[in-house]
Amino acid sequence: MTVQPQHILTRRGFLAGSAAGASLIALHPYSAYAAANQAHLRIMETTDLHVHVFPYDYYSDKQIDTVGLARTAAIIEAVRAEATNAMLVDNGDFLQGNPMGDYIAYERGMKAGDLHPVIQAMNTLDFDASTLGNHEFNYGLDFLMKSVAGAAFPIVSANVVKTMGATAREDETLLRPYVILDRAVTDGSGGTHPIRVGLIGFVPPQIMNWDRRHLEGKVQTRDIVRTAEAWVPQMLEEGCDIIVALSHSGIGAAEHSEGMENASVPLARIDGIDAVMTGHSHLVFPSPTFDGFADVDSTAGTIAGKPAVMGGFWGSHMGLIDLLLERDGNRWKVVSSTSEARPISKRNEDRSITALVESVPAVLASVQKEHDETLGYIRRAVGKTSAPLHSYFALVADDPSVQIVSIAQKWYIAEMMTGTEYEGLPILSAAAPFKAGGRGGPDYYTDVPAGDVAIKNVADLYLYPNTIRAVKVTGAQLKDWLERSAGMFNQVTPGETDQILLNPDFPSYNFDVIDGVSYEIDLSQPSKYGPKGEVLNPEASRIVNLSHEGQPVDPAAEFVIATNNYRASGGGDFPGAKGDTIIFEGPDTNRDIIVRYIVEKGTINPTADANWHFKALPGTSVLFDTGPKAADHIGDVKAVTIEPAGDGPDGFARFRITL
Ligand code: MN
Ligand code: MG
């Protein structure tokens, strides 16, 4: 239903362009009064849905209020109800990113004529257009083309090219580069007029690296800004009144550089582009996140003076740009705008979440069948493990729950380094136990028996939705990285027995084990670093016999370490991981990489390779508390002499390690 807003709006109304008008726009962005020669157009955006339709976390197998197009749809419907002229676009990354996407790609498949559930859900909402995100390419071109074939709306992508022409305008693009929608707008006096809205889409050219195995020899990419400069004049020649860029690209540097991933600022600067819908970074714009970015007004919601928006991710927000248009001869032009990102939930002071909207039943219903099938999928085996996956001893010995993460990370990064200047450098992997007792209690451990592995188990192995990174470090930085990890342990007096091993102030997620090198930890030495990464004892050294392929690590040698975005950008304040050593930023979550590894390999072997252990200290023993079920796995632990030592506090079991 469409409410004719002018009845309401004349009472609240203002004259567009006046100072008073500007402040009223801010208060009531939907209530712009349009004069007879003016019209109001609201452009709504979803972005980075990643197959989230139901408000459901399939990894933890429970409902959540922070995600889901069914929830965003409630905001979309509300805006449509209050607007005379509204459009809805999606900014890409819809096909991949949760177990429903994996279920369709890995298990159900897409036959010609099949409807992909996220497309089905989008069809119910009557989208006007979408573009492709980088994750659309994750399952290959055949899967992508069959999926988008079901869309009841045009999908545009200007810089993915099947055959390169001499210039972009002579390219044969994979999908149409742009679309021009002929619509009617109702002006302030109730008259309707035609309007031509052009929509053009862009994806980071980096897809050629990220999905090389699917794309090489089949498509190529062009630079986002150069592609826009080629096509926008043609769209103007074809009579576009306004042009909206669907930029599946983040808000980054103001200056253009060839092939840049986050190109929305230089893109916005291009003449003829009136508004920029952004995404890819999974952030919210306008918001203080972008304070201080050159050519970006994070309060007004403009980039290079043009309206822009970024609607979070997984349906967390709906991005909204309100344009006030004015008749300019035979054309419409933008005279003012507002933008905002409307959330579907809010986080309270006690960190609990309150839903701000309810799901739209028609959207849920459109994918109910696939939702139910996905629940079956996450609960049944997708692969096998030849050894039990548990974390009971992850803090005292090399362990299978950490080993499998490193195996998968190394597998992925090795592929990404192929053909780069880093090919040939040793690839190591850093991973920490996430579920390792502590404040989580004596049951808070990963414990998957040998045999079947389900998707739900992967959440157990990798708790956080981090994304993959690679850093390049020196041998000296590598050693200090491990010194930082070794702060996990109290200092031990040689020759004394039953000393408490773990420092309770040190979170397990900062106990990085680095796979691909071997080393010992000398507990008789003080820790170089404190629990927050502060230097306590600059001369201290707990890491001994650090070696790579049997040779001592040269402090000047270079290594690639596979890790996650949290660590690589300074999380935990690790030496060699302060943001300046990143050489590769992957778009995939570490969790998705583990799923992909399991699905591809079928059977995985997570047996730990015992690449690290405590240095022998004759006559010395320590006590270590872990979950009581650890007793079943004591025989799995290599390179450490361990025996039960009664009960620990709070339901934990105590074990003695003889060093
Ligand atoms: Mn995304
Ligand atoms: Mg290992």
Amino acid found at 427 = I
Question: Out of 39-43, 265-269, 421-425, 586-590, which region has the weakest mean confidence (pLDDT)?
Answer: 586-590
Distance CA 424, CA 426 (A): 6
Query: Does 20 have pLDDT greater than 50?
Result: no
CATH code, domain with 416 = 3.90.780.10
For residue 656, what are the contacts with CB-CB under 8 A and spacing of at least 6?
498, 621, 622, 623, 624, 642, 643, 644, 645
CA 474 to chain centre: 28
* Same domain, residue pair 414 and 293: no
Query: Does 8 have pLDDT greater than 60?
Result: no
Query: Are the C-beta atoms of residues 490 and 501 closer than 8 Å to each other?
Result: yes
Ligand of minimum distance to the alpha carbon of 518: 2
Give me the mean pLDDT over the 259-270 stretch.
97
Last residue of a domain, one of 326, 346, 374: 374
Instruction: Tell me the per-residue pLDDT of 340-353, one tens digit each, with 9 for 90 and over.
Output: 999 999 999 888 89
Query: Does 17 have pLDDT greater than 80?
Result: no
CA 118 to chain centre: 18
Tell me how far the alpha carbon of residue 646 lies from the centroid of ligand 2, in angstroms: 29
Which helix (H) or strand (E) element contains residue 543?
strand 543-548
Query: Are the C-beta atoms of residues 513 and 612 closer than 8 Å to each other?
Result: yes
Tell me how far the alpha carbon of residue 379 lies from the centroid of ligand 2, in angstroms: 28
187 DSSP 8-state letter: B
CA 378 to chain centre: 20
Tell me the percentage of the chain whose pLDDT exceeds 70.
95
Query: Are the C-beta atoms of residues 283 and 310 closer than 8 Å to each other?
Result: yes
Ligand of minimum distance to the alpha carbon of 429: 2
* Same domain, residue pair 256 and 399: no
Query: Does 41 have pLDDT greater than 70?
Result: yes
Query: Does 9 have pLDDT greater than 50?
Result: no
Ligand of minimum distance to the alpha carbon of 394: 2
Last residue of a domain, one of 374, 401, 432: 374
Instruction: Tell me the per-residue pLDDT of 138-159, one tens digit each, with 9 for 90 and over.
Output: 999 999 999 999 999 999 999 9
* CA-to-CA dists, residue 103 to 58, 158, 167, 635, angstroms: 11, 29, 40, 36
Tell me the percentage of the chain whose pLDDT exceeds 90.
79
Ligand of minimum distance to the alpha carbon of 95: 1
Last residue of a domain, one of 325, 349, 374: 374
* Same domain, residue pair 104 and 194: yes
Q: What's the confidence (pLDDT) of residue 6?
A: 31
Q: What's the confidence (pLDDT) of residue 302?
A: 98
Rg (the chain; Cα; Å)? 28
Region of 570 (left: φ > 0; alpha: ψ -120 to 50; beta: rest) is left
Query: Does 570 have pLDDT greater than 80?
Result: yes
Give me the mean pLDDT over the 270-287 stretch.
97
Tell me how far the alpha carbon of residue 369 lies from the centroid of ligand 1, in angstroms: 25
Task: Assign 637 a pLDDT band (cuts: 50, 70, 90).
Answer: confident
Query: Does 26 have pLDDT greater than 50?
Result: no
Question: Out of 1-10, 532-541, 589-598, 638-647, which region has the weakest mean confidence (pLDDT)?
Answer: 1-10
Give me the mean pLDDT over the 625-652 stretch.
89
Task: Assign 426 a pLDDT band (cuts: 50, 70, 90).
Answer: very high
Angle between helical axes of 590-601 and 400-417 (0-180°, round to 10):
90
* Same domain, residue pair 364 and 387: no
CATH code, domain with 305 = 3.60.21.10
* Same domain, residue pair 603 and 495: yes
Ligand of minimum distance to the alpha carbon of 51: 1
Instruction: Tell me the per-residue pLDDT of 91-114, one tens digit each, with 9 for 90 and over.
Output: 999 999 999 999 999 889 998 889
Tell me how far the alpha carbon of residue 459 lies from the centroid of ligand 1, in angstroms: 19
Instruction: Tell me the per-residue pLDDT of 221-244, one tens digit each, with 9 for 90 and over.
Output: 999 999 999 999 999 999 999 999
Query: Are the C-beta atoms of residues 136 and 92 closer than 8 Å to each other?
Result: yes
* Same domain, residue pair 213 and 348: yes
Amino acid found at 13 = G
Tell me how far the alpha carbon of residue 93 lies from the centroid of ligand 1, in angstroms: 5
Site of tokens 């195996």: 407
- Please tell me the total count of domains within the chain: 2
Q: What's the confidence (pLDDT) of residue 380?
A: 87
Instruction: Tell me the per-residue pLDDT of 296-351, one tens digit each, with 9 for 90 and over.
Output: 999 999 999 999 999 999 999 999 999 999 998 888 999 999 999 999 999 998 88
Ligand of minimum distance to the alpha carbon of 592: 1
Tell me how far the alpha carbon of residue 581 lies from the centroid of ligand 1, in angstroms: 23
Whole-number mean pLDDT of the chain?
91
Q: What's the confidence (pLDDT) of residue 78?
A: 96
Q: What's the confidence (pLDDT) of residue 462?
A: 87
Query: Does 14 have pLDDT greater than 60?
Result: no
Query: Are the C-beta atoms of residues 543 and 449 closer than 8 Å to each other?
Result: no
Query: Are the C-beta atoms of residues 391 and 462 closer than 8 Å to each other?
Result: no
What does the buried/exposed string (b/e) look like for 264-281 if buried means 16 or more CB atoms within 10 Å of the residue's CB?
bbbbbbbebbbbbbbbbb
Closest by CA position to 640, among listed 523, 554, 515 = 523
* Same domain, residue pair 424 and 470: yes
Ligand of minimum distance to the alpha carbon of 250: 1
Task: Assign 33 a pLDDT band (cuts: 50, 70, 90).
Answer: low
Distance CA 168, CA 170 (A): 5
Tell me how far the alpha carbon of residue 512 lies from the centroid of ligand 2, in angstroms: 11
Ligand of minimum distance to the alpha carbon of 101: 1
Give me the mean pLDDT over the 473-488 stretch.
98
* Same domain, residue pair 541 and 588: yes
Query: Does 212 have pLDDT greater than 70?
Result: yes
Tell me how far the alpha carbon of residue 138 lies from the centroid of ligand 1, in angstroms: 12
Tell me how far the alpha carbon of residue 523 lies from the centroid of ligand 2, in angstroms: 19
Closest by CA position to 131, among listed 8, 242, 246 = 246
Distance CA 170, CA 574 (A): 49
Site of tokens 């009557």: 126
* Same domain, residue pair 346 and 388: no
* Same domain, residue pair 368 and 469: no
Range of the domain at 174: 5-374
Q: What's the confidence (pLDDT) of residue 116?
A: 98
Ligand of minimum distance to the alpha carbon of 398: 2
* Same domain, residue pair 405 and 496: yes
Ligand of minimum distance to the alpha carbon of 132: 1
CA 175 to chain centre: 25
Distance CA 251, CA 300 (A): 15
Tell me how far the alpha carbon of residue 96 lies from the centroid of ligand 1, in angstroms: 9
Give me the mean pLDDT over the 392-405 stretch.
93
Task: Assign 559 a pLDDT band (cuts: 50, 70, 90).
Answer: very high
Task: Assign 32 a pLDDT band (cuts: 50, 70, 90).
Answer: low
Query: Does 381 have pLDDT greater than 60?
Result: yes
Query: Does 189 have pLDDT greater than 50?
Result: yes
Ligand of minimum distance to the alpha carbon of 515: 2
Instruction: Please tell me the pTM assigned to this model.
Output: 0.81
* Same domain, residue pair 363 and 396: no
Q: Is 163 exposed, middle or buried (0-12, 13-18, 19+ CB in 10 A)?
A: exposed
Tell me how far the alpha carbon of residue 94 lies from the centroid of ligand 1, in angstroms: 8
Tell me how far the alpha carbon of residue 281 lies from the centroid of ligand 1, in angstroms: 7
Instruction: Tell me the per-residue pLDDT of 124-137, one tens digit each, with 9 for 90 and over.
Output: 999 999 999 999 99
Question: Out of 195-204, 401-410, 455-464, 563-572, which region has the weakest mean confidence (pLDDT)?
Answer: 455-464
